[in-house]
Structure 1
Amino acid sequence: MHIKKAVIYGFGKWVDHTIDFTDESFVCMYGNNESGKTTVQQFLLFMLFGMPPQKRAGYKPKTSGKMGGRLTVHDADIGAFVIERLHDVSNGKAICYTSDGKEHDESWLQKQLKGMTKEIYQSIFSFSALDLLDIRNMHEEELGEVLLGIGMTGSNQIHTLEKKLDDQLNKLFKPFGKKPEINQQLASLDTLDHALKHYQKNEQDYRTSKESLHQLDNELILQQRRLDETRDAVFRLNQQRQALPILKDYHRLKNQHQTFPDGFSFPEDGIKRMEQVDEKLLPLKSECSVLQNNKDAYVTKRNDLQNDLYDETVYEQLAAFLEEKQTWLDRQKQIDEYAKTIQKSTWQINEELKQLDAGITMDDLSWLQLPFSAEKTWNQLKNEWDQVELTKATLNEEHRQLLKEQEYLHVQKETLQASLMTTEQEYDLQETVRQYYRQKQIQDDVTEQAKNWYQLKNRQKSQTNIWVIGGIVASALISIVALAIDRMLLLSAAGVILVASVGQWVLGKRSVLELDEMIASTNTDSISVTEEEKQEAEQLLKSNDDNKQEWSILQDKWRSNDMAFWKWEEKQSEWNHRNNRLQKQVAEQIRQYPFLKQIDLSHWPALFHSVKHVLDEQRHKKWQEQQCEELLQENRRYEEMIDQFFHDSEWITTNRSTMDQLTEMENILHEYRKSLSLIDQYNEWIADTEAKKNNIQEHMRLYEDELAHLLSIAGTDTKETFLAKGKQLQEKQECAMKIAELDDRLVQLLSGDDYETLIVNEPPDERALESAYERETDRISDIEHFMEQKRQERADVKAYLASLESSESYSDTLHRYTAEQEKFENMAEEWAVLKSAKAMLADTKRHYRQTYLQQVMEKTTHFFHLLTETSYCRIYPPEENKSFRVESCDGIRYDVHELSQGTIDQLYVSLRLGISDVMSREHRLPFIIDDAFVHFDPVRTKRIAELLSSVSNKQQVILFTCKPNVTEATANVTTIHGRIPLV
């Protein structure tokens, strides 16, 4: 099964979104965290397997009231079909639409999934990073069993279930444990049992009273039985008292019935039957006489008709001739139609030959033959001619276009060549541009230098002014101080400072003048190339470059045109050869069919059908002439036979047409058949009359036999004695009916034994019966009084027992013992169920191991070999006390806990792929992986991507990931970037 497209109406954060899984078998859906990848995965599971209402509510979109979608899948057996589920329609059940337009329900989808459920699917065809994390956190001693379970079912649930069963069994019971619940319950029952035995030893009186109560119960049961027997006897005696008058009448009638003679023979309802026989015999005798008279009249008329007929062979010949009459008439009609058709065909053929105007005459049609191959040949020649003419026109047009293009290119080349510069001109322009940029660079350098010199000049002016002002101020201050303290030496120092300041000012002034001269000298240079000249030179150079490029393009087009001319010449040569071959074939056809010479080749196929039609009409005309001649011969033979028959029969034939002879034959045969019909009618009436007569006589014999039979049964000879004997029999029957009626009443009143006794013997004495009834009634009173005494004694003993049982210690202990025993039984039943479940799980594992584990291990070994880059060549499942093992290519075997964590992850992935491959042979479902390789390094990620790509050749693989390195490793597959659409 291959998922093609998912249309999400609303599911979680996805609303009105379509995901196209394309036609690729390996699809990678990439997106950051919280981008909706897991929601898409849950949507796919929801569409395939449904979802409970409570869980569906968690995926109901916040921004839309519609929850559900459509999933387009392709199955190898039934083709493409669409699965649609809506939250509010049929409680989320699926509606499937197949390509033939039919709708199917949830059961049909489950049938296509072959019973696959969501849980089984996730354990076989889906895994995630959490599964690898569980493997990483597992103890060494558990790892082997978990991998075995994954190899068998695709998940670690078998190991989890076994561990859970072991924990529950140990929690319930251990053979030598004290803490398990069953062990504690057994100890509690032992304690309560000892307490009950202690109470029972101190209550011996309780047992004695119990035995007395039991004896009293037995005595009451015995007395109750005697009471029931006595009451039954009273009831029977009372029945006999009520039945006594009926018994007396019964015995009286029985004695009267015995007075009638034994062996009394008389037919049942004999008198009535005798009267019925007499009533039916008289009309039958009268009807029999009438039928005999009718029969004699019919025989006379039949004989008269038979004497007037010809011999039967004459009528047979007439019938034979008349049977051929319609055929003769039909042939005559066909002859006339053939004559008209032949005349019309001759005229039509002549007209069509005139219209063809191909020089074909009626005589030519006799020898002309147009085989089926001729039509094919003419069509081929016509098509070939059309192609040759079309090719010729195409070549002429192509040649004209090539010449036109060559002329245009020639003009363009001459024009463009005239506009190209010489090498010297181009060099001069380039030198002008270079000179402009050199002068511009110098100008920029001079400007920058002048700017620096101005700055230096200003600084020197400022420094000179500072020196002068500072010297004058310092001299003045020193002079004032020297005058104040009267130190002449300080005045000399002040003079020296003043002279130095003036000297520094003079030097600075000279330096500034030199700078002015230098700046003035740099400004005297001028630029010889202007901006306009530079732009004009650049424009001319650019235009020249464009012309060069266009010249190169023209050169390429010129070479292409030359190549096209060469190809055209080859096509023209090929056309000449093809045309010559066509002309030879046309000449050969004209030699075979000269009339084609004056017909254009393009009309040959149409001419073929026209000539073929004329030839068909000519053949059809000849066939009609032959048929007409055969019909004429048949009619002549038939007419000669009729004439010969009339001559042999000596009937009149002079000047009579065949139609008149046939009419006379029909009249004779009609009279013959009419006479035969009357004869058959008379024979039928005679037979019918005879049958009726025989039937009446048969009825008469039956009634006469019935009368004799009645007299024979009664043993009489006359009707009078028969009737007297019948009256006596009626009296005996009435007596027997009364006896039977009394017997029915006695059966209802008396019991079975009493009835059998009293019906045979004489009725009992009434006084003795009353005495026995009173005696049994008194006995009932005595038994009831005795039972009342025993009931009182039983009540006293029971009250004593109740006082003993009212002790709370014994009753509480007994109640607790019963409750604890019931609790123990429930625990034991639970322990037995868990033990059976563990045994069944072990049997299932053993069966699966024998059936599928070898196939899974072979596939797992193949995948593991590829993932580890041939580092490991074989995998051994656990057996006996050995753990899961792998064998490296150098023959060394390692237990699973000796492997690195990355290798264990690779082994786990190989197991999941192996079980999926084996199971996919029956369940062809997509394999879904949710970020299972986030802990893999880039090398291992690339290996697993390559492996999944090979797996996708047989099974669709859908990978959800948020890691860019995974998408890079799967760059050769279709990648869908998942993100939540803006609503």
Structure 2
Amino acid sequence: MKIRKIVIYGFGKHENKTIDFTDGINIIYGHNEAGKTTIQQFIVQTLFGFPQKNSAQLRYEPKAGGKFGGQVHLHDEIHGNCIVERVQGKSSGDVTVYFEDGTQGGEEAIQALVRQYDRASFESIFSFSVLHLQGFEQMDETELSRTLLSSGTTGVDTLLRVEKKMEKEMGDLFKKSGRNPDMNVRAAELKEMEKELKNEQERISAYAPKMDRIHAIEREWKKATMEYDSLREQHRALERELQFVPLKERRRTLARRLDDVRTTSFPSDGIRRFEMINSRLTEREAKNRGLKAEIKAMAGKMPENPSTEKLEEIERLLAREPEWHEWRSTVGAIRDQQAQLHVKRLRLLDRLGVDDSDAVLRADVSIHQEEHLYEQLQELAAMDQQLGYMDRQLSQLENELRDIRNEQLSLQKNAPTEEERKQADEWPSLRGKLAEAKAYVQMSRSNRANGIPQLLWILLIVAAAISVVGLISDQWIVVGLAACLAVIAAILAIRKRGGQPSQETSEAERFVKAYAGQEAIMEALVEKVRGYDRQQSRLNETARTIERKMGVLEEEYGTIVQKKEQRQKSLNGFFLAYGLLKIPNAGILHEFFGMVRSLQEMERELEDMSQQSELIQGKIRFRLTEVERFIPPGVPETSIYEKMRSAYMSLKEEAQSFATLTQRIEEFHMQMQEAEELISSLRSQQQELFTEAGVETEEEYYTAFADFQETQTLTQQIEDIESQLSMHGAVDEGSDRSEDVLREEVHQVEKALSDVEEVMGLLVKEKTALEVETENLLTDDSYQRKQQFFEIKKAEFAELAKRWSVRKAVVEAIKSMMEELKEKKLPEVLMGAEKLFCELTGGTYTSLVVSENGLFQAVGANGKRYPIIELSQATKEQAYIALRLSLATAKEKTAPFPLLLDDPFVHFDETRFTRMMTIMERLSTKHQFIYFTCHDKIIEYWTNATIINVSDIGSAKGAIIG
């Protein structure tokens, strides 16, 4: 499966962008915060779904709103070219798969396309980053080995997480010497409950003796009850007779007093009515005296009645006070504005740098005039810029020409001599003759030593081979050499019977002796002469080109200087009319015209302000003539309205006081009249009460009321005593026992009752205690409850033991499965990982092995095994990456996914990174790599990869980001 292109509608910071990928290695490069991880997450989430909104993983919804999602264009070996589109919809997004035959699919289609892999399984094999490697340094040996094992086998990381979870839950359930785990707590509770059950059984055995004592107490209680009832009846009779003695005596005393004070009539509710009338009468008389005093005091305070016309005139002037202050404020504001405008005017004149302000004020500052001047200044600035550019070009060309002259001088110092040139010219012809001479000498010697036929065949074969090579490469010298060898072979064949070397052979030997061993020196000399000639020619041609360019630039420079001088002369005369001594910069021309316009506008504003100020000051003078009638002379202008308000408030207070006092005096007169009428009525009611009681004074009235009250009290008391006597039936009026005798008899009976009650109380108390104990023994289900609770706890303990056993079985099953993985599945991955690990470390470590206790070990070149924890951080990461790549290679047929790598090689040195590049380039023939990085140096190594620069929104090698 290969990713051809991604189209981002909206994802994180990216919006409406398209990125094209190639089959091999693709480098996603960009600085921090450029959006590399966002692109990596876009690929993963489009294929496997957006995270839930409450998930810890980011959803990368568009920052600026808009459509959420995009497309991933794929080429799959089974399904062909297809497009996976996922947009916002349900929690994981709405996905649609478009196949090249025009059909479409949904979740089932994407599941088939990704070979039923989920996101976690995909990221555990085909997507990893430097974040997966950062925790290696803090891992112990077991954790590191398990991490490496999970990287080399799919699904192991899930099994390891389950194993850790089961072991933790087992620890929460039971520990051999623990106290807090649930099973340890339940075991301690069961032991304590066994002790409580034994105590309950001992308590139940005391029931029968307690029941026998209860029956004996009931018999004793019956006997004591009969005796108590008899004494109680005797006590009630004595009490009733004792109660009658004081009642009889009290009735006789009350009858005698009633005969002395008997009064039969008095006004109903007389005292309350009299006191209420008397209170109201006193109150009204006091109020009447107070009203008279108030009227007298108010008459003394009464002021004169002020003039209404004067108040109205002052009110009119006070109502117009705001316009007075507005006039004064306006005059002050105008003065301030005039002062500010004068200051600004001077500042503008200083900034303009002109002596004649009248000329500036009369100057034409229209927009047309400004545009005309601006265009001329722009042309002048453009000429300056063009001249500066030509100066830099001429300077650069002069530097280049000077460098070439220096290079020519340096080259001249190393120039070959005439003798060397002559030797170089002669060497090509000498080289061919030397080869012929060597071959001729060799053939002669071979004929003399071993016979001619074998050498002849060798020379003929060599000549044929050399001629073929020369013809193919179009090197006729080589063909000529082959012909020479063939001629030599023919000559040898003719002289194959000769015994002594011929004259030609002697000359050939002398020639070989003269030039043999000098081939390398002469070839170097030839190359030196040729290189010098080529360099000299190149430098001469470059110098001529630079001189031509300089001539053209100097001619153009002179033309522009003349135009500039003409333009400056024209502008100088133009700006003298404005009072300026030099031409301003084009950048400040707009500001110059703006300041002149502001200056002219200020002059107009100053004239308007002077007219407005004179008008308002006339109004102020007229108002002062109106106000002077009501205030003392000599009051400052700023205080006249304050004095007027004081005068107005004084007059207003006098008028209000006069009206208020007049109204209050009238009200008090009316209240006095009402009070006198009420006093007269109350005195009449008081006399009527005296008449009804038959008295003439207040003292006699109260005495009559006291006698009437006592008569009623005595009568009621006698009636109460008779009622009490009648409640107890017939009273023996003739009994002659005294109160003391009766009290002595009552005391003796009460003592006997107390003794009987004490005995009965002890019996009741003992019986009650026994009944409670026996009832508790009969009705108390604490033993059953404790027994039941004990059984519940036993069941809970059994359930916890069952849960512990299940987790123990799962842990053992996982361990067994891990052993099986190590024995069956892991070796296949390890074989490929060993080769990669050995290549990455340059042969320092030859293989990776798993020990009997499940720990990874690296085998060195000397055969020694090193625990993985002892390796450096980078070497641990290389082992991890080797296992990941080996697993991805093993999954090529069943899961041919691209590999997404997020800068996992940052800890590698340059040598090992180069090896990693070699491995990736080799694997890229079968796998597509998408490598994310922010390091400038890394992308310099990748010469055969597609570089996609996210920071610049573009690519240097054809990849497009739209």
| Superposition TM-score tier, normalisation by shorter sequence | 0.3 to 0.5
Q: TM-score when scaled to structure 1?
A: 0.40
Q: TM-score when scaled to structure 2?
A: 0.40
